[in-house]
Structure 1
């Protein structure tokens, strides 16, 4: 017997406000694991982010998890940056999800998603996932705000946010991320100057620094004798184009294997009414074949 095509009930649209509805509603949005975090913790984290543009979240991973991540990603470190922004002595790994599962917990950690849930519209997206290993002798990275890739004038709310996870300890001399507190509120014409405070995100392994896409920051110079291994996960509003085209770079077997949160953030979700559709339907239908 041939299989009958799936059909959804016909929706009556009488006003433009009706287009806020999810017209591909067969696959309902799931509750974010960020909802499991104590509200007082989220309040404190979010207050710091609003005030400073960033917050350091310490000891989110166990030493065993950190060791497992380091063991899995070290063999992947075979290429250095293509320019001075990426770093001539900095190794980077792209398309991480297709190469290892060990970074999944960093992407969908509840403490991180709890902040993103407050900042962005539902079904926000993963914009980029990279392994970054800053080797000895690397110079400081050009300071920048991550969501400057979107040509929307400042000052404005952030369109993205990022985490940088310390797999090695971040110290004052090994290339730890440098942040400029309060710079998330700067207008389009302001640039970092000698008068601006610059802080180093010193933190133990298994911690992360979470910052807004409007915050000026950069990788620090590595004056030590050892490399500084980290992983960055970046996120954006659901109506924006991510930096990495995950629907192309991540195969369907991988998409089926990741958590529901990551699957949603890879683009297997709908921003109402129909942004993200495939052939007029919800993209999760592709995973049934």
Structure 2
């Protein structure tokens, strides 16, 4: 079998796409009519709320898909003792694929993260009545890189049902994505409940302090799906190359396949036996 040969003359050439067969499919210009204003809000506040991205029917369909997958309540206060979760959604339903690669989200990701960024986790979360507020945290705190710094990850939380101030809407501290390592939330900091109707998403930097809100209702729950993404040179929260069977990977879109790790961060991070990981799927 003939091999495509790509000329490499110096070390700088290694940090470009030198693949001969499995060229990068990462976009750099996903359409984004609102991307400049979205990015401005994100830079200022650390988060931006995008309303009306899902229809009422789409929300019902996602709710129907994830409802039987939700497990028992959490094992600790962070997961939530009155909160149900469903992990590894890609192996269990195709119902959430559309939000993972929603064009409005991709337009932001393409400008915030390096090409071939990865999906870090995808889960459904239902906060039930009586849940306490989750302790405040920032999502990429697991990466030991000093702050202040640019975010190494970003998150989306999609409202599948309405988010209200009483039923557990996500709480954020605007501007906290700029804090340094020594700064911690105090009672003096402004905390904002991200109230938004079903079909909306809050998109926020991995450096933003936030947490699930308390559900102070007697009989209401709020359902969300969260998709999180990280730089292509970082380890994702979920090892999708282990949790997602190859048969499933073959069925998802090229965008999602790439975000699962079937891609290369130049020059060869992510390779399998010295070759592009897509070779093990037997697809082009």
TM superposition score normalised by structure 1 = 0.94
Equivalent in 239, 248, 251 of residue 254 of structure 1:
248
SS in 2 for 1:117: helix
Report the Cα offset of residue 276 of structure 1: 0.6
1:31 Cα offset (Å)? 5.3
Aligned to 1:110: 103
Deviation at 1:284, TM superposition (A): 0.9
Say which of 8, 17, 20 aligns to 1:12: 8
Gaps of 5+ in 1: none
For residues 14 and 5 of structure 2, the distance between their equivalents in structure 1, rounded to whole angstroms, comes to 16
Q: Moved runs in structure 1, 4+ residues, more than 6 A?
A: none
Counterpart in the other structure of 2:267? 273
- Segments of 5+ residues of structure 2 without an aligned counterpart are none
Partner of 1:121: 114
Is the partner of 2:104 in helix, strand or coil? helix
Alignment of 1:207-246 (within 5 A): 207-224=200-217, 225-246=219-240
SS in 2 for 1:263: helix
Summarize deviations over 1:80-139 as a string: whole Å, max 9, x none. 211111111110111100000000011000101111111011000000101111111010
CA displacement at 1:10 relative to structure 2: 5.2
Cα distance in structure 1, aligned partners of 2:237 and 2:71: 22
Q: Distance in 2 between matches of 1:164 and 1:157?
A: 20
Question: 1:93 matched to which residue of 2?
Answer: 86
CA RMSD of aligned residues (A): 1.4
Q: Which residue of structure 2 lines up, in the alignment, with residue 154 of structure 1?
A: 147
Counterpart pick for 1:29 among 11, 17, 24:
24
Structure 2 CA distance for aligned equivalents of residues 108 and 80 of structure 1: 28
Q: Distance in 1 between matches of 2:11 and 2:143?
A: 26
Alignment pair present for 1:56 and 2:49: yes
8 Å contact 2:51–2:197 — kept in the other structure? Answer: yes
Q: Report the secondary structure of 2:59's partner residue.
A: helix
Looking at structure 2, the residues matched to 285 and 256 of structure 1 have their Cα atoms a distance apart, in angstroms, of 12
The answer (yes or no) to whether the contact 2:5–2:20 under 8 Å persists in 1 is no
Matched, 1:189 2:185: no
- Secondary structure class of the residue paired with 1:35: coil
| Count of equivalent residues | 282
Q: Retained in 1: the 8 A contact 2:165–2:193?
A: yes
Superposed displacement of residue 34, structure 1: 6.2
Q: Aligned equivalents of 2:203 and 2:59: distance in 1?
A: 18
Question: For 1:257, what is the secondary structure of its paired residue?
Answer: coil
Contact 2:80 2:134 in 1 (8 A): yes
**Aligned position for 2:135:** 142
Cα distance in structure 2, aligned partners of 1:253 and 1:137: 40
Give the TM-score normalised by structure 2. Answer: 0.96
- Whole-Å separation in 2 of the counterparts to 1:132 and 1:228: 8
Partners in 1 of 2:155 and 2:32 — Cα distance?
Answer: 19
- Paired residues of 2:6 and 2:20 also in contact (CA < 8 A): no
* TM-aligned CA deviation for residue 254 of structure 1: 1.2
Bigger mean CA offset, 45-54 vs 19-28: 19-28
Rounded Cα–Cα distance in structure 2 between residues aligned with 1:102 and 1:181: 32
